[in-house]
Structure 1
Amino acid sequence: MSLNIHYKEDFKNRHIAPNAEDTEAMLSTLGLTSIEELIEQTVPQKIRLKKPLNLPVAKSEKEYLESLRQTASLNKVFKSYIGQGYYDTTTPGVILRNVMENPGWYTQYTPYQAEIAQGRLQALLNFQTMVIDLTGMEIANASLLDEGTAAAEAMFMQFSLRKNTQANKFFVSELLFPQTIDILKTRANPFGIELVIGDHQAFEATEEFFGAIVQYPAGNGEVFNYTSFAEKAHAKNVKLTVVADILSLTLLTPPGEWGADIVVGTTQRFGVPMGFGGPHAAFFATKDEYKRSIPGRIIGVTIDSHNNYALRMALQTREQHIRRDKATSNICTAQALLAIMASFYAVYHGPKGLKLIAERTHGLAVALSQSIEQIGYQQLNKVFFDTIRVDLGDLKDSIHRECIDNEINLNYIGTVATIALDETTSIEDIKLLNKIFSKVKAISADSVELAEEKNIQTVIPAELQRTSAYLTHPVFNLHHSEHEMLRYIKSLEAKDLSLCHSMIALGSCTMKLNATTEMIPVTWAEFGRVHPFAPADQVAGYYTVFNEIDRWLSEITGFAAMSLQPNAGAQGEYAGLMVIRAYHQDRGDHQRNIALIPSSAHGTNPASAAMAGMKIVIVKCDANGNIDVADLKAKAEEHKANLSCFMVTYPSTHGVFEESIIEICEVIHANGGQVYMDGANMNAQVGLTSPANIGADVCHLNLHKTFCIPHGGGGPGMGPIGVAAHLVKYLPGHAVVNINNEKSIHAVSSAPWGSASILIISHAYIAMMGGEGLKNATEYAILNANYMKARLEKHYPVLYSGSKGRCAHEMILDCRGFKNFGIEVVDIAKRLMDYGFHAPTVSFPVAGTLMVEPTESEPKHELDRFCDALIAIRNEITQVENGTLDKLDNPLKNAPHTAAKVTGDEWSHSYSRQTAAFPLPYVAEHKFWPSVGRVNDSFGDRSLVCACPPIESYMEEEVSL
């Protein structure tokens, strides 16, 4: 027997689940002999790539982690006092291991199917409660992307709510963090909003203003009393947004108590690593009267079909898909996983623990201020929470050198340095700073008296000190030992279905393997503890990753360059459209503001176009689901003088490779427009074709879909954009870190590279798959989809397919005919839970349908399990149709069935408990029990409760029902 000493683990065989036997069986079902034959029948030849992807040879998992260790070592993890919205923090081990590093939490999907998402819904309700309590506001959402974009959402909400429609000025305190001002400039421009940036103490409100925004504490660390400012603003009908530091609100009077209309900020310092900029969960809180205008998601309390407490997403559920260009926001991805971590941080520490952390941070800042002044420096902030401001004068360079030698970063603005302390700061850190400042003045550090704890008094005046209670709900007061916290986390996790349990076949959402090796480096200190504004010479490791992923994604898309800044898919859409807008305006074509969008488009497309100041013209689709080329030509020519762009998803949202795509792009270019491609369906393109090869000018990539960043229960996501050469100069810049091109638009996200730490996940995926592996993944995504189509089309009409009868990587099952005998598509979705599955995408892009996408990382036996479930459900529908099952009392209408219901003393249904709970043999072996019955959405919306109610109220509500 010869021995193979050159054997190496091949990651692509771990990622792509079907083996050779599976492949042969699936191809046989399709009547084919090879995958190449399937691709020939699916992907139009004229858009196929002529040569393989030019990517590095695939690494094994071991090789990748070893090489990334070398790259990570190029990052220098200095002690950061930079602040500016980013702070070092301690992630409690019980949260790090059991949430952030746990696939039971990070592989969940957005909780659109509430009955199998009660755990994360509860954690997100805790988040909302935490935000409401700390800000002193009445209602909060379940997170936004980052602090800067949350501030921009607040500005636009104020703009939308203005009573004087002529008011177009927005006052911006010059003491906002510069990255936030940068984003406000981006968002204001398309709507003609005039930003007036200045000193809030000199501001005079007039009727020309619709809103104002201030920072609390201010960007320089000073804490101002804004009470009179708020009163003067309200006297002129000017609404006030406050950007607040969430930890400071345990000590400072909350903005809701002194006049804020909206409060936004980030929860990063609640246990979420800096990660060179993200991902972090922003918060958005406001008054109850504005609840229907809040951007993003809101979690609300309701009841289930058994009158028990239940949760679900309220009001804003995918509202952009309903209102499209009339939507108030294009937000689709939030930061659910990070919001969940922050909420658990608050649960673990409780109100007392949070206050102690804040008091220690503030106390050390006071002690440092006193000792710095003893040494002979002037400390400029009179009232502060965690940040002091030191005038260094002509000693600035010397201080800077000493700090670097001691691996310390301060924030320098001219000859002034701000020093922002945080949870991780210690007495020893203060002593080291004193030593540095003393050395530069040639003073012995031993002569500096560091105030003892009993002598440290707050510098916050009484009128700014918080007196109101917060986090009084039992959930924040019961789980402070690690054992209690572990059990609480696990109790919530057990209520949620994730990729740990079964495939999640969501069309357009691409729920695929998030390999453990891809995830491991995210929590390495070399990546997690780096400040996004750290000097460039300290972050060579990150720059190496960025440069490589830029090159690789450019090769995959065929484009000249990428911007990694957009931190969500919809954010990428917006960034791409703003780049197109800048291109036209730079050429003097200011009138080009028409966006042609097919009727099949994702709802975020028209919403993003509207946010970019464009007017939307809808292009028809034909009976086969394809873009109506004749209608496109007519509208492109009609709007030739004003045409900005055409937004297209490819393959189409209908799951088809449209053969007219090159002609479509040519029509747009011939009429002076640009082609924007929505990259939601890139999982059917990689290695076979590319956006540039098809004719697109811009494309965003959902890294949380095609490139394996996990969905995290509703976020994080990443949406970088690739552009053709003529658009590179307009890619987003940044106000703090110089990444600007010749004519960069202002920033679209707070951090220069968006959620930088999770870019490593996609970097790992591409590096371990290699060019051939990525192509194989695309081929198997198409094979798996067509195999499922072949099995299911005998039972459900498949709405669209290509000219040779093939679908792309997803298909649409038409369930509309079942309404004739009382079965709705939602009944099928809920019944799938009894079989242990999350429903495919419901009623999108066509109402009354299911859009199914299996991905390449599901094996044949899992595809078969899912098909068996849908076929069994179809048989149940047949029984309703022929009267074997009652039209109203049947397993579909009563789904999902909980353990409490099935095992209860009473069973009044006309079908058996066995049918309800174990409809197929495999279910008994893998049973996942929904924790609640079908949720009542309308009940919750009629009586909106978006914070944790007292325990007693659950009991009272149940009795009253």
Structure 2
Amino acid sequence: MNTDSFALRHIGPRPENISEMLQVIGVDSLDQLIYETLPDGIKLEKELDLPEALSEQEYLEHITKLAAKNKVFKTYIGLGYHNSNTPPVIQRNVLENPGWYTAYTPYQAEIAQGRLEALLNFQTMIVDLTGLELANASLLDESTAAAEAMNLLFAVRDRKQKKNKVVKFFISEEVLPQTIAVLETRANPLGIELVIGDHQEFDYSEDFFGALLQYPGASGKIYDYAGFVQKAKDAGIKIAVAADILSLVKLRAPGELGVDVVVGTTQRFGIPLGYGGPHAAFFATKEEYKRNVPGRIIGVTKDRDGNLAMRMALQTREQHIKRDRATSNICTAQVLLAVMAGMYAVYHGPKGLEYIANKVHKSTVALANSLEELGFYQLNETYFDTIRVKADVEKVKQIAEASEINFYYPDANTVAISLNETTSLTDLNNIIAVFAHVAGKESHKVTTLEKSILENISVSRDTPFLTNDVFNRYHSETELMRYIKKLERKDLSLNHSMISLGSCTMKLNAAAEMLPLSYPQWGNIHPFVPINQAQGYQEVLKRLEDQLTEITGFAATSLQPNSGAQGEYAGLMAIKAYHDSKGDTHRNICLIPSSAHGTNPASAVMAGMKVVVTKSTEKGNIDVDDLREKALKHKDNLAALMVTYPSTHGVFESEIKDITKIIHENGGKVYMDGANMNAQVGLTNPGKIGADVCHLNLHKTFAIPHGGGGPGVGPICVAKDLVPFLPSNPIIETGGTSPISAISAAPWGSSLVCLISYAYISMLGPKGLKSATEHAILNANYIKQRLNNHFKTLYSGERGRAAHEMILDLRPFKEKGIEVVDIAKRLIDYGFHSPTVSFPVAGTMMIEPTESESKAELDRFCDALNSIKEEIDAIEDQENNLLKNAPHTMEMLTMDEWNFPYTRKQAAFPLPYVSENKFWPSVKRVDDAYGDRNLMCTCDPIEEYMDSE
């Protein structure tokens, strides 16, 4: 037993279990199983060219040395990113707690009530501060949230605007530069024409459907937009505002002005900078646009007993229903970060937030006054936390960086300074000292913060916020710790049992991978610092890019996309840029198999492509004849094929190389969805099968935790032809030689959590990565065989094997009145989260155990499902039985009366193992339909919900 081996800790089955598992499957060796699973002609001939595995201790020493290469200066760059204080009680009990970071998206509401409540708090906070009626449960970053706002306003144009083909969108030149870049990327494929200019000179032409303003502006200046908004509304132009969330504590809520959408980031509510992410963006709008809101909304509903319950409302998996007609391709939110930001508001409450906002603002006023006394002209008449002064930039920069201070320099004669929550009196005086040195004058010290300039301006806030009880009772650490724990106990996460979600790869998120996220040398780096101050990050990110490039068999990688769906979009935009560079601007047809992830068609439409669906065979494979026919039919306009491999049906298709060849012969490129890379790493790769680009879900195959529904990272890896088109950033140079504009706000996306994937690959090494893939396939086929007598597997490979996941056909149980959802809810009573339900085939479950689960856990899961089958067989009353009444709560089990045709023990403790580690759901089955009919998305007093009903 090599205790230095990380693979020993990551991979679940013990060596002594493997022979038993192989015997059940009916093969002599793991090599034989892999031979029978993968088709001929796609296997790698050699081991991955990666460094040998590090032990956990070696890795932690290595990452600590790299961290020391980052220079943590006092940074006042701003531009939407600010240092903030993460309250230790939130750091320890949320960020560093597997009960929160290993949870899955709350599709099974009954075992996610804690997360759902925390997200409802987040939505309430956003609604209160923005003054709008409805907020979602987070987006990826401020810039992509602004792009989604533009898309929403485009979609809700009135009939006259649509008839007249009104496509112009105005952007104030005060909008953040990275946001403008993302808007440029998103607008072009949709035919939206951007006009960037001074909002004070806007002519309110009827040629515009919408406009975006920044509040306060990128310069730091606070504008009163009331007049602009009224004139725009009179002209039929809808308005989005990108707002700084902390400033909204002191400034008038944009919703009160009549704007239609407010977006921004909650990063400065206790979230580390992390060289750009992950951070939870917010999106608020009017209730009339509720069916156009991107991402997820948490709504209040009731359970079967009428008790208050929460669920994901309206948008649940809408891409998989609407596909190419979906509102957005967004699949991942930033749940873990939204939970942290919401808890920051709960902990500080309205008075605490006001104290922090006042401190930031008064510090800025004191700084401005001091610099003016030194003779530096300050440009902003009104401001919250950002001033701009006229000065010799080269001189200021030299002295500031020698003093380990970063400012932002918008031009050669202007210095921008954005203060933040962490700025102390000492920091203020150090800034003043820099300018005194530049001026050659004596520096005087600021000793108190007294003045504010916000009380008497036209946009000063005069409305209350965060009045709900939850924001006014947990202000001691003891109380907040207990509140967080109370919510955690309502959620089933990986720290309780296996979550065998097909397509979602819920594997071990090892402690050694997670620890460095709390190091200040990684957390406190602004994404726009000079490159020489982030050498630790640069080394990690470059090595991770190289690792992923080698694993995929491609030529280069971009880490910028912040989610899998964003990676899909980035890959398609790179393909589009390639075709455009060849003069083939007409190539816009994207072939997509009927079995594909729903985000695929949604992404293709966003990239300006027209979706043509290809058929699947009875065995679940791509119908190659149909594909060939459609490729030939559209050969003059063929842009791409989107294919998932192994397929969404859990099968390695043997004709994959013929499929990619057909596309190439007809002028298209092949995009491979990397959702199922956990079955490929070390055995085959996208380059080997003939793909041109793939995205990778680092929150799946490469061990970043799902965090209850995010963060996600979806880098794209590309073949040589597409390398020039990798995405850029307007502030820090990155991307290819002919890059597409930005996909997300930060140059390298969510850099902080990329440390996790770097750790995963570095500690497994080439042998461990391959072994992880082999054991993922082993575990899947073991489950398949153990369930074989009771459940039919819908699709298998040509030699009868599953890849790393399989689909169980549960439709035959309808004869007993049992739907797939009943089995999902009954699994809760056995202590398990349901596998993926009704995707990609209605009435089925898709199971993926991953390599991290032990034989003992696999056996418990199989025992549970087999036991449920026996319960189905024993059903006499199709309306009153163990499955229809599941899940069973503690309240239900302890009632005086028991009017069910089965015992309490059968309900709560159906197998012996359950009593050893019982998970009690906090609510009975949730009423989905009621929640959609009565959409309530804030944590208002219970009386208001009752009045509404």
TM-score (norm 1): 0.97
Give me the whole-angstrom Cα distance separating, in 1, the residues matched to 2:590 and 2:826.
40
Superimposed CA distance per residue, residues 750-773 of structure 1 (whole angstroms, 9 cap, x where no aligned partner) = 101000000000000000000010
Alignment partner, residue 420 of structure 1: 418
Query: Does the 8 Å CA contact 2:346/2:475 hold for their aligned counterparts?
Result: yes
Could you tell me which residue of structure 2 aligns to residue 125 of structure 1?
120
Tell me the CA shift for residue 8 of structure 1. 5.7
User: 2: CA distance between counterparts of 1:435 and 1:424?
Assistant: 18
Following the alignment from structure 2 to structure 1, what is the Cα–Cα distance between the partners of residues 454 and 929?
49
Which amino acid is 2:736 matched to? N
Which of 379, 398, 402 matches 1:401?
398
1:187 corresponding residue in structure 2? 186
- List aligned pairs for 1:811-960, cutoff 5 A: 811-880=806-875, 883=876, 886-953=877-944
Shift in Å, 1:434: 1.1
Q: Aligned partners of 1:668, 1:451: CA distance in 2, in Å? A: 70
Match of 2:437 among 433, 439, 449: 439
Shift of 1:740: 3.7
Alignment of 1:637-652 (within 5 A): 637-652=632-647
Say whether residues 1:250 and 2:249 are aligned partners: yes
> Could you tell me how far 1:439 is from its partner in structure 2?
1.5
SS at the partner of 2:834? Answer: coil
C-alpha deviation, 1:461, in angstroms: 3.7
- 1:52 has 2:47 as partner: yes
Q: Deviations over 1:34-84 (max 9, x none)?
A: 100000000012000011101001000000010111111110001110000
The letter of the residue matching 1:400 is K
Residue identity matched to 2:415 = A
8 Å contact kept, 2:558–2:716 = yes
SS at match of 1:300: strand
SS in 2 for 1:511: coil
Matches within 5 A, 1:461-472: 461-472=456-467
The counterpart of 1:608, out of the listed 603, 619, 643, is 603
The question of whether the paired residues in 2 share the 8 Å contact of 1:41 and 1:804 is answered with yes
Structure 2: segments with no counterpart, 5+ residues: none
> Alignment partner for residue 681 of structure 2, among 681, 686, 690?
686
Q: Is the 8 A contact 1:305 1:934 kept in 2?
A: yes
What's the CA shift for 1:794?
1.1
Structure 1 position 793, deviation (Å)? 1.7
SS at match of 1:894: coil
**Match in the other structure for 2:85:** 90
Question: Matched residue of 2:931: which SS?
Answer: helix
1:494-505 aligned at under 5 Å gives the runs 494-505=489-500
Determine the structure 2 residue equivalent to 1:368.
Answer: 367
Match of 2:524 among 526, 529, 540: 529
Match of 2:544 among 534, 549, 555: 549
Matched residue type, 1:728 = V
- Supply the distance in 1 between the matched residues of 2:105 and 2:753 (Cα, whole angstroms): 18
Offset of 1:577 from its aligned partner? 0.2
Q: Structure 1 residues 97, 451: closer, same or farther in 2, change over 3 A? A: closer
2:325 maps to 326
Write the distance in 2 (CA, Å) between the matches of 1:451 and 1:390. 22
SS class of match (2:883): helix
Shift of the alpha carbon at 1:346? 0.2
SS in 2 for 1:252: coil
Q: SS at 2:508's partner residue? A: coil
Report deviation, 1:462: 3.2
Which of 1, 6, 29 aligns to 1:11? It is 6
- 1:358 and 2:349 matched: no
1:921-957 deviation digits (Å, cap 9, x = unpaired):
1111110000000000111111110001214346768
1:492 aligned partner: 487
Farther off after superposition, 903-912 or 854-863: 903-912
Q: Is the 8 A contact 2:454 2:460 kept in 1?
A: no
Find runs of 4+ consecutive structure 1 residues off by over 3 angstroms: 450-454, 459-462, 951-957
CA offsets 1:516-560 (integer angstroms, 9 cap, x no match): 000001111111000000001101100000110111111100000
For the residues of structure 1 that align with 2:659 and 2:393, how far apart are their CA atoms? Answer: 59
Question: What's the CA shift string for 1:310-359, capped at 9, x where partnerless?
Answer: 00000000100000000010000000000000000000000000010000
Alignment of 1:210 with 2:218, yes or no, is: no
Matches within 5 A, 1:373-392: 373-392=372-391
Structure 2 CA distance, aligned partners of 1:463 and 1:291?
31
Q: Contact (CA 8 Å) 1:362, 1:386: kept in 2 or not?
A: yes
Counterparts of 2:400 and 2:781, CA distance in 1: 61
Instruction: Verify the 8 A CA contact 2:498 2:832 in the aligned structure 1.
Output: yes
Structure 1 range deviating more: 652-661 or 734-743: 734-743
Conserved? CA contact 2:265–2:281, under 8 Å = yes
Q: Which residue of 2 aligns with 1:262?
A: 261
Structure 1 counterpart of 2:732, from 734, 737, 745: 737
**What residue ranges of structure 1 are gaps of 5+ in the alignment?**
none
2:226 paired residue number: 227
The Cα shift of 1:460 comes to 5.5
Structure 2 Cα separation of the partners of residues 479 and 71 of structure 1:
38
CA contact (8 A) 2:363 2:449 kept: no
- Return the alpha-carbon distance in structure 2 between the equivalents of residues 513 and 627 of structure 1: 32
Shifted more, 431-440 versus 589-598: the winner is: 431-440
Counterpart in 2 of 1:453?
449
CA distance in 2, matches of 1:878, 1:530: 59
Percent identity reads 60
Q: Distance in 1 between matches of 2:822 and 2:217?
A: 51
Mapped pair 1:562 → 2:557: yes
Aligned to 2:469: 474
In the other structure, the counterpart of 1:36 is: 31
Could you tell me which residue of structure 2 aligns to residue 338 of structure 1?
A: 337
Cα contact 2:361–2:452 (8 A) shared by 1: no
Contact kept, 8 Å, 2:70 with 2:536, in 1: the verdict is yes
CA distance in 2 between partners of 1:830 and 1:549 (Å): 40
1:316 and 2:312 matched: no
Q: CA deviation at 1:634?
A: 0.2
- Pairwise mapping of residues 713-728 of structure 1 onto structure 2 (< 5 A)? 713-728=708-723
Per-residue CA shift, 1:114-151, capped at 9, x if unaligned? 00000000000000000000000000000000000000
SS at 1:154 equivalent: helix
Task: Compute the RMSD of aligned alpha carbons.
Answer: 1.0
Alignment of 1:538-687 (within 5 A): 538-687=533-682
Return the letter of the residue paired with 1:59. L
Q: Aligned partners of 1:351, 1:323: CA distance in 2, in Å?
A: 40
The DSSP-based 3-state class of the residue aligned with 1:521 is helix
In 2: Cα distance, 1:259 partner to 1:303 partner: 32
Whichever residue aligns with residue 421 of structure 1, its letter is: L
SS in structure 2 opposite 1:531?
coil
SS at match of 1:893: coil
Pick which of 204-213 and 506-515 moved more: 204-213
Within 2, Cα distance between the matches of 1:660 and 1:607? Answer: 26
Contact 1:583–1:727, Cα closer than 8 Å, also in 2:
yes
What TM-score results when the alignment is normalised by the length of structure 2? Answer: 0.99
Partner of 2:168 in structure 1?
A: 169
CA contact (8 A) 1:573 1:608 kept: yes
Contact 1:522/1:757 (8 A) holds in 2: yes
| Paired amino acid for 1:190 | P
Alignment-mate amino acid for residue 404 of structure 1: E
Tell me the SS of whatever aligns to 1:851.
strand
Inter-partner Cα distance in structure 1 for 2:455 and 2:224: 10
- 1:460/1:742 CA distance change after superposition, 3 Å: farther
